[in-house]
């Protein structure tokens, strides 16, 4: 429209304003209707996006509650935490145990003999060392570049096959006013099964069994600390293990030993962790209320974007049915949410009575797991229901695709309106310019005739 000009000279009319007014009269109502349509589609897209986000959050909570382990949490208390710490799994059976730590597991330590090496820079010899600790064996090759005591230490620690032994050097008094270097080999794993053996393969000719690299063989090393297995008494029964972390004595219980003392018993009490289970159920209640809040906001009043929407209405009915329906595989005493303290008021808001839930957990903890996490449990059924909406190709995606198609159509309509407005403006401009020219021509002819008649009348007189 920028290339079109107006005259208005011939007629004296403001043809530009007239054309703009005519174009606006025809196009503005159509554009306003289209913008209202686009705005409504955008609002619905945003609403379904918000609904999907809330449903996805609810689904995440449901996915956790589908796992029976979330209803089998155990708590553990100790009469004294000086000797060990404790952790439990769902396999732990509620009850009490007496535990006494009589001995901690220890790693073996071997050290070179006194007077064997003056410093870490002292040359030992070349060859190789075959080192074994437990099931781990590896070979360390000692060449000219690593034949000192420090070089051998570094070669042992750097060996890519070494998963079991740490090498270190200490510089200590030699008993004669000076110092000496001692190589220490320490098993990384505790227990009798992980004792260290070293076979030296001396490559230097003429060295005897107590010379050169042979000085690092097991026969020439001193045991500074003996390997030891842990020993505990559980209700008076002994259990020996190679590690200080013991998880196979009391089922579902791991004891991490810290200190041993004969005759000192610690009472371990295993119980149902009602607080953790209650917290998990509360997460379900909170997630459901958050979803219901979004659904109510999107459809609860006359100004709501999705008021009367069939998808939202169907979802609401399905959720209500799944929550109120009994669970066939659960025990009849606890086969409905309301029986364990989960209720919904007249406004649709869910709440949890923790006291009632705790009572049911004391009476029959397994029934709570069945109510939520069995194959037809509440969490499992709700998860499948929500999945139908949130999954790829699900109901929400289909609704969104439909709205995207409508928006695409509306945008195409807008482009057609742009072209129509351009054409209408051009056509009216040409018509009014032609009219203006015609009126100007008529006016010019009229002025000429008036002038001629006036001249004729003047000549008569």
pLDDT, block means (10 residues), the chain with 461 residues: 49 73 80 78 82 92 90 92 94 93 98 96 96 96 96 97 97 94 97 97 91 96 97 97 96 96 96 92 95 86 76 90 89 88 91 94 87 91 92 84 79 80 79 74 67 68 55
The C-alpha angle with vertex 161 and arms to 160 and 163, in degrees rounded to 5, equals: 105
Residue 26 φ then ψ, to 5°: -85, -35
pLDDT of amino acid 446: 64
Name 259's Cβ contacts closer than 8 Å, sequence gap at least 6.
82, 83, 84, 101, 104
Closest by Cα among 231, 270, 238, 274 to 251: 270
The CA distance from 146 to 191, in Å, is 31
Residue 384's CB is within 10 A of a number of other CB atoms, namely 14
pTM: 0.66
In the structure encoding, which two tokens stand for residue 154, read together? 């570094």
**pLDDT value at position 297?**
85
- pLDDT of 447 reads 63
In angstroms, how far is CA 427 from the centroid of its own chain?
62
Phi first, then psi: give them for residue 234, nearest 5 degrees: -115, 110
Instruction: Kindly state the tokens that stand for 131.
Output: 């080192």
Domains belonging to the chain, first-starting first, are 1-72+274-327+372-461 (1.20.1330), 74-105+230-272 (no CATH), 109-225 (no CATH)
CA-to-CA distance for 151 and 145, rounded, in angstroms? Answer: 7
pLDDT at 385: 92
Sign of the alpha-carbon dihedral angle for 290, 295, 301, 306: positive
Contact between 164 and 144 under an 8 Å Cβ cutoff? The reply is no
| 413: enclosing H helix or E strand | helix 395-460
């Amino acid at each position: 429209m920028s290339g079109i000009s107006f005259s208005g000279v011939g007629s004296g009319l403001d043809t530009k304003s007239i054309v703009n007014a005519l174009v606006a009269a025809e196009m503005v109502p159509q554009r306003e209707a289209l913008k209202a349509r686009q705005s409504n589609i955008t609002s619905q897209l945003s609403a379904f996006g918000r609904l999907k986000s809330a449903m996805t959050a609810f689904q995440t909570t449901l996915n956790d509650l589908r796992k029976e382990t979330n209803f089998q949490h155990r708590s553990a208390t100790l009469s004294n935490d000086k000797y060990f710490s404790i952790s439990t799994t769902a396999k732990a059976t509620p009850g009490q145990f007496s535990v006494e730590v009589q001995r901690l597991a220890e790693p073996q330590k071997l050290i070179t003999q006194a007077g064997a090496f003056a410093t870490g820079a002292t040359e030992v010899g070349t060859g190789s060392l075959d080192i074994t600790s437990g099931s781990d064996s590896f070979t360390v090759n000692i060449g000219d570049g690593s034949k000192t005591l420090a070089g051998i230490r570094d070669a042992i620690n750097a060996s890519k096959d070494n998963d079991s032994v740490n090498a270190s050097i200490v510089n200590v008094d030699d008993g004669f006013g000076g110092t000496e270097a001692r190589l220490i080999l320490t098993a990384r794993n505790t227990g009798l099964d992980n004792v260290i053996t070293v076979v030296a393969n001396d490559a230097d000719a003429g060295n005897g069994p107590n010379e050169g690299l042979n000085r690092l063989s097991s026969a020439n090393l001193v045991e500074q600390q003996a390997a030891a297995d842990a020993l505990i008494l559980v209700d008076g029964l002994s259990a020996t293990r190679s590690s200080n972390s013991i998880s196979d004595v009391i089922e579902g219980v791991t004891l991490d030993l810290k200190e041993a003392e004969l005759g000192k018993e610690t009472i371990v009490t295993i119980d149902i962790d009602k607080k953790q289970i209650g917290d998990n159920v509360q997460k379900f209640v909170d997630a459901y209320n958050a979803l219901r809040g979004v659904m109510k906001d999107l459809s609860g009043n006359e100004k709501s974007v999705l008021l009367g929407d069939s998808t939202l209405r169907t979802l609401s009915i399905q959720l209500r049915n799944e929550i109120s329906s009994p669970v066939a595989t659960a025990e009849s005493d606890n086969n409905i949410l309301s029986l364990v303290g989960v209720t919904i008021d007249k406004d649709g808001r869910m709440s949890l009575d923790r006291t009632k839930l705790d009572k049911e957990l004391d009476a029959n903890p397994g029934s709570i797991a069945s109510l939520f996490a069995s194959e037809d449990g509440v969490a499992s059924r709700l998860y499948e229901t929500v999945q139908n909406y949130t999954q790829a190709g699900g109901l929400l995606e289909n609704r969104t695709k439909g709205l995207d198609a409508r928006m695409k159509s509306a945008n195409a309509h807008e482009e057609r309106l742009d072209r129509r407005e351009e054409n209408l403006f051009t056509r009216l401009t040409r018509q009014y310019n032609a009219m203006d020219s015609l009126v100007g021509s008529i006016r010019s002819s009229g002025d000429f005739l008036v002038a001629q008649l006036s001249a004729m009348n003047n000549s008569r007189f």
